[in-house]
A = this chain, B = another copy of it.
Amino acid sequence: MNAPTSVIGTAAATEANAFLSLANGDRLDIEAIRQHVPVRRCKHAAGQGVYHAGQPFLALYLVHSGSYKTCELADDGREQVTGFRMRGSLMGTESIGLKNYSCDVIALEDSEAWELPYPAILRACLHLPELQAYITGALAAEVRSDRSWMLMLGTLAAERRVAAFLLDVAARYAHLGYSAKHFILRMSRIDMASFLALKHETVSRALSRLHDLHLISVQRREVQVLDVDGLRALAGSGLVLN
């Protein structure tokens, strides 16, 4: 009924069922879970928070459409974007075992996430052993992904970091069935810079440089990948997906 499929990575198979996508490519259909867990669909406007650090931990959230960022923040006001989430990603798992959420999640655009109350999930795990395995696996994959970004941040110069980031975004779009060669970045330069541990001016310059090298074409948030191999050579290939 809505969203005529636009050229480049917009709203996503909007009315298809959501799924839980695992690192190894497995997808756990949410319908099985829905039998045990009451799901509430939550819409978020761009900039709106899903949950904030300190709020009581009550539910996990499955991204259905749009995109989100997760932010870590320190007492003294320092702030860091630690990840970007797209359709199929389960948010809130990092707070399992705590009374309160440990980080912030904010919508980058108008988005929708499905709220899965945690107590109900725990009960459902008793009936659905694969759900328990799924959550454990998702957490492990998150650790691996974070560590592979730590490797990237610790070993690559600014320009290479940006290249690696673009390849990651491209791979994620491809995984969702969108073009890996032509897409719109959903986050601001500031968010990108924070995630990459750089300043936004540096990210901007790096993108311009990659453009000048004919590896990509970039205009504001629209990116076209012109030379994947060139990008890979810069980024040092390997990167674990979410």
**Could you list which residues of chain A lie within 8 angstroms of chain B, going by C-beta atoms?**
22-24, 70, 72-76, 78-80, 82, 93-98, 102-103, 132-133, 135-137, 139-144, 146-151, 153-156, 194, 197, 236-238, 240
For A24, what are the chain B residues with a Cβ–Cβ distance below 8 Å?
97-98
Name the B residues within 8 Å of A97 (CB-CB): 22-24, 133, 136-137, 140-141
Q: How far is the CB of A86 from chain B (nearest CB, A)?
A: 18
Picked from B72, B95, B156, the residue with its CB within 8 Å of the CB of A150 is B72
Contact B151 A74 (CB under 8 A): yes
Given contacts A24-B97, A139-B142, 10 further A-B contacts (CB under 8 A): A72-B150, A74-B155, A76-B237, A78-B151, A78-B155, A97-B133, A136-B136, A136-B139, A146-B150, A153-B197
Interchain CB contact under 8 A, B76 and A238: yes
How far does the alpha carbon of A197 sit from the alpha carbon of B141 in the complex, in Å? 22
